[in-house]
């Protein structure tokens, strides 16, 4: 109601100004706070890409326990920093890993998973050579994985699901 009064009082203003006022007041947009959202801004692009990724140990062997789960979490955080992606949620179970990632559009998800699985396997076998005895053929990870896109609406639900994994076990 107050806006209609302002419009009537200032009918002489151009249509472009009224469109600007409508967009920024009615639509509750503030050009000075445009970065206060869940989007990531790069040079020439804006994105919001989250993936829920799950992969398993070979033959679902429960070898990721007794401190190895914490070691893998640390390694995954280092990889996130090195490759400039964000881990929004993470849980390492004895036989699989859940990650919720936010990454740049330049990363193909298959390349991201290859980096994560390859680096963690190489590092774990160097630090814990006894793992090869528990795994047939000396492979830590199953070659497959699951990657699901996550929307702004479902991100909180996926985060709660990942964080509750240890409670279910």
Active site residues: 161
Compute the distance between CA of residue 7 and CA of residue 22 in angstroms, rounded to an integer. 10
* 129 close to 118: Cβ distance less than 8 angstroms: no
Helix (H, G, I), strand (E, B) or coil at 135: coil
Q: How many CB atoms lie within 10 A of CB 140?
A: 21
Cβ(128)–Cβ(138) below 8 Å: no
Contact 91, 166 (CB under 8 A): yes
């Amino acid at each position: 109601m107050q806006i209609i009064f302002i419009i009537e009082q200032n009918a002489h203003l151009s249509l472009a100004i009224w469109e600007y006022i409508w967009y920024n007041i009615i639509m509750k947009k503030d050009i000075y706070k445009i970065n206060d959202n869940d989007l990531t801004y790069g040079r020439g692009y804006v994105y919001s890409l989250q993936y829920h990724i799950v992969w398993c140990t070979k033959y679902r062997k429960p070898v990721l326990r007794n401190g190895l789960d914490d070691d893998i979490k640390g390694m995954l955080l280092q990889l996130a920093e090195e490759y400039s992606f964000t881990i929004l949620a993470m849980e390492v179970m004895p036989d699989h890993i859940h990650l919720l990632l936010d990454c740049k559009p330049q990363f193909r998800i298959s390349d991201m998973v290859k980096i994560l699985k390859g680096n963690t396997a190489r590092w774990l076998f160097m630090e814990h050579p006894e793992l090869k005895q528990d795994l047939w053929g000396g492979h830590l990870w199953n070659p497959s994985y699951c990657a699901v896109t996550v929307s702004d609406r479902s991100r909180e639900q996926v985060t709660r699901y990942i964080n509750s994994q240890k409670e279910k076990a």
